[in-house]
Amino acid sequence: MKISTKGRYALRMLVDLAEHRSEGYTALKTIAERQGISKKYLEQIVPILNRTDILLTNRGFQGGYQLGREPSEITVGEVLRLTEGSLSPVACIGPNEIVNCDRSVDCPTLPIWKGLDKVIHDYLYSVTLQDIIDQSNEHFADDYMI
């Protein structure tokens, strides 16, 4: 499994919105500048997130984007599932079941892939945007100069 640029950038965009949520709606241009991401690329990600309750949109003067839920309620797994589709490590395992495979009944390696899929799922759905922010704050709290 390899996370695409779309998934990584969507996560960065949402973390940015979480870090600046007290500022209200944020223009896409501002997020792009803060994150060093092309605004055009973010414009491709927004429709995916906009179909959910993760992202709110406000058009017009002082419009932009903000989180639709608290950062502690949005998991990395949820964001990656939206942007990446399946997070399964092998093609023969779908989101919640084994995809039609002639060998699934006799496949000696299937339990390995199912176990790996469960570990990936459990981990990604246990980490929230708030966890990312908290971890980042802890990391940079020890990084000071006199």
Q: In the prediction, which pLDDT does 30 show?
A: 96
Give the residue from 30, 27, 29, 75 showing the smallest Cα distance to 52: 75
Q: How far apart are CA 117 and CA 91, in angstroms?
A: 11
Q: How far apart are CA 22 and CA 76, in angstroms?
A: 21
Q: In the prediction, which pLDDT does 91 show?
A: 80
Q: In the prediction, which pLDDT does 87 show?
A: 87
Its CATH architecture, for the domain 5-141, is Orthogonal Bundle (1.10)
Q: How far apart are CA 109 and CA 64, in angstroms?
A: 48
Q: In the prediction, which pLDDT does 27 show?
A: 95
pTM: 0.86
Tell me the pLDDT tens digit for each residue of 28-73. Answer: 999 999 999 999 999 999 999 999 999 999 988 888 999 999 999 9
Domain spans in the chain, listed from the N-terminal domain onward: 5-141
Question: Residue 65 in contact with residue 25, Cβ under 8 Å?
Answer: yes
Q: How far apart are CA 138 and CA 38, in angstroms?
A: 28
Tell me the pLDDT tens digit for each residue of 105-141. Answer: 788 998 998 899 999 999 999 999 999 999 988 766 6
